[in-house]
Amino acid sequence: MARHRFAREALSEWMKVDGPDADIVISSRVRIARNIRHYPFPMLATNQHSREVMEKLLAVAKSGKLKEIGGFDTFVLSDLNELERRILVEKHLISPNLANESRNGALILGHNEAVSIMINEEDHLRIQCLYSGFQIREAWELASRIDDIFEAEVEYAFDEKRGYLTSCPTNVGTGIRASVMMHLPALVLTQQINRILSAITQVGLTVRGLYGEGSEALGNLFQISNQITLGQSENEILDNLYSVARQIIEHEKAARERLMAESRMQVEDRVRRSYGILANAAIMESKEAAQRLSDVRLGIDLGLIRNVRPQILNEMMVMTQPGYLQYLFDEKMSPDQRDIRRAELIRKQLGSKTEHGGV
């Protein structure tokens, strides 16, 4: 039996309901960075300073106002073992920095995992809200509401000219990072992706992989977010991201239609081969798993593969990660052992998500 709610299921509750444009936009996220006035930033804080910050912010979590939003669990990171911290990272609920390097780090986690509030990460407070599909404005509204609750209880580090002060200069100003995680296999297959991603960087946005800055875009998943936080209002940042993401959605839809019109048999062969390999392979390396799961998800969205839930991509992207694999099988594994277990898990999951074994 799992010790904690977050380890019991790979899919967070919020991911089980498809939001708008969920065939292309996997999730929408808003993250707000804040620091408490008169306390050094976490990288310079003493143990006493960081402990005081943690205690102040955890006290807010126990207040009635935050409870009005929903149920929350609180965790001190040092009380979690390495595997539990790794699962939180793999589910995008905390950052690797909080998991590995934080002093007096803590987490306030919503029961449905749509809200995760990190304490003593790169900044004293990072409020993250996640929604299924293309709901970036809804994510912002919730994050802003939570931000107001904390600001009513603690005094933020704020400058009249610069805005909210943060550890990293790229977050100064609004302190907001808004992003959408997009599945763009057709733009990759039609070789349009580089041109589109290049254009994105010209309008104040940046592109990252599945796990943020410095990570690879595995499984044709691209995280698109604002790069500018200073000199623009929150609404301007959100409007820019929304407009660009909407255009990318339309480009991906057009690319899918083109593939089906001009290369249907080739696409069908590709997705069925990937399904067959996933359903039968004895060894599966993580990069290949991501790519073939992407193919299967494309096949589902195009109606080429039936009786498989679309959430298979989201679910397997978590369950096949090293930490979650070791948790599921309750054993410490070498990379080679993980490849064997990963293949075993995918075979089992695909088998349990088909009717009569058919595609």
How many whole angstroms separate alpha carbon 134 and alpha carbon 247?
A: 12
Residue stretches of the annotated binding site:
27-31, 92, 126, 177-181, 208-213
Exposure of 346 in the CB half-sphere (CA atoms within 13 A): 32
3-state DSSP assignment of residue 162: coil
DSSP lists the bridge partners of residue 108 as 74, 117
Give Cβ neighbours of residue 192 (< 8 Å, ≥ 6 apart).
Answer: 251, 255
Answer whether 156's CB lies under 8 Å from 140's CB: no
Length of the chain: 359
Among 182, 176, 177, which residue's Cα sits nearest to residue 244? 182
Neighbours of 55 (CB within 10 A): 12
Residue stretches of the annotated binding site for ATP:
27-31, 92, 126, 177-181, 208-213
3-state DSSP assignment of residue 11: coil
